Amino acid sequence: MKQLNILIVEDDIVSLEFLDEILSAYGTVDTAESGKDALHAFHVAHAKSTPYDLITLDIGMPDISGNEVLEKIREWEYIKGFAGQDEEVKIIMVTAEKRMKERIRSLRKGCEEFISKPIEKEKITATLAALGLID
């Protein structure tokens, strides 16, 4: 199984630690507690030629919303020629948001999937498998 390079973007420490515990079984995990930190980590990873395979992204962040971070990542990938390629990072929105409008907005901006809070290990595993990230 390929070891994944993963970024968890989550401002709730309990959710962050739980995601870290689950996802660290699949590779290297970095964390960010704000949208600005997430964008910085994303760009640093690319600069080091170690781009992320997966980003879990909370919609409700304190500085830049998860949807704004998602949009900025997809815009950067488009400009750099990664859009629609295997190099494009898989992004899973992790959210307590129940409104379908926000979910549709995220899908239009380019996320692959949603995981609703409270987070369940089985849902994460099934989502990773559905995205072809794990067997």
The domains located in the chain, with CATH, are: 4-128 (3.40.50.2300)
Confidence at residue 89, expressed as pLDDT on a 0 to 100 scale: 95
What's residue 1's pLDDT? Answer: 64
Average pLDDT, the chain: 91
Amino acid 91 reads I
> Tell me, what's the pLDDT at 126?
95
- Distance of alpha carbon 40 from alpha carbon 91, whole angstroms: 16
For residue range 63-116, list pLDDT tens digits in order.
999 999 999 999 999 998 887 667 789 999 998 877 777 777 787 888 999 888
Residue 17: predicted pLDDT: 95
Q: How far apart are CA 43 and CA 65, in angstroms?
A: 18
Q: Residue 13 phi/psi, 5° resolution?
A: -60, -35
Instruction: Report the distance separating Cα 91 and Cα 110, nearest Å.
Output: 8
CB neighbours (10 Å) of residue 46? 17
The residue with greater pLDDT, 28 or 115, is 28
pTM for the whole structure: 0.93
3-state class of 25 per DSSP?
A: helix
Residue from 98, 95, 123, 93 nearest 109 by CA: 93
**Beta strands 54-58; 4-9: pairing state:** parallel
